[in-house]
Amino acid sequence: MEWTFDANPAETVLALEATRMQQAALFDPMLAVATSKVDPLPHQIRAVYGELLPKPGPLRFLLADDPGAGKTTMAGLYLKELLLRGDVRRCLIVAPGGLVDQWQEELAERFDLEATILSRALADESAHGNPFGDPADPTQAPLILVARMDQLSRDEAWLAISKAASGTSSWWTRRTGCPPRTRAAS
């Protein structure tokens, strides 16, 4: 085998940087803390790195805590850590209506995560009826959607969209043997 050193230097640096970024979580188990603009409190670190991340199985959690306890910080750290590790493809955040803009802004400012607010226009524009886009082409769709809780709960069409987007419809049906609305009504 003959080795040549005629590769494009810019492409080589890019490939090495991509490999370094893929492996970063192996060397820094709290990479999201180091790459975010937050100073997490001990209970937030314990919740994210001690409870949420070690859990095997589907990555679906309800994060609930007292007002002011730092749910946005915990959710942001958790989400960013999963993204850095390559463990999440899409995320649906359901928040009270008045906090949707705040979630979008804080994810951008504190964690450098771009979130899109789920709107009727976004759902109508989606080619497959899924606001996350075509599952076969994840590059053309928003990775993180923030939805209004009241909007999803009021309208059956929105509920169906949120279930399709998050995958909970099929999960619930497999687990209980009946569609989600049928189970909730009984």
Buried b (16+ CB within 10 A) or exposed e, 4-35: eeeeeeeeeeeeeeeeeeeeebeeeeebbbee
* Of 11, 14, 34, 12, nearest in space to 22 by CA: 14
Model pLDDT, residue 184? 35
**Tokens representing residue 84 in the block:** 């850095």
**Tokens representing residue 157 in the block:** 């069409």
Per residue of the chain (186 residues), give pLDDT as tens.
Answer: 787 778 888 988 888 887 776 676 667 778 888 888 999 999 899 988 888 888 876 666 677 777 778 888 999 999 998 888 877 778 888 888 889 999 999 999 999 999 989 887 777 777 666 777 666 665 665 578 898 888 877 766 666 666 665 555 444 444 444 444 433 333
**Tokens representing residue 165 in the block:** 């987007």
The separation between CA 54 and the C-alpha centre of its own chain, rounded to angstroms, equals: 17
* Of 74, 152, 60, nearest in space to 106 by CA: 74
Alpha-carbon span 163 to 70, nearest angstrom? 26
Alpha-carbon span 56 to 40, nearest angstrom? 24
Model pLDDT, residue 129? 65
Phi/psi-derived region of residue 57, left when phi > 0, alpha when psi is between -120 and 50, beta in every other case: left
Buried b (16+ CB within 10 A) or exposed e, 71-82: bbbbbbbbbbbb
Q: What is the pLDDT of residues 11-28, one digit of tens each?
A: 888 888 877 766 766 677
Q: Where are the domains of the chain?
A: 9-88, 89-186
Q: What is the pLDDT of residues 169-180, one digit of tens each?
A: 444 444 444 444
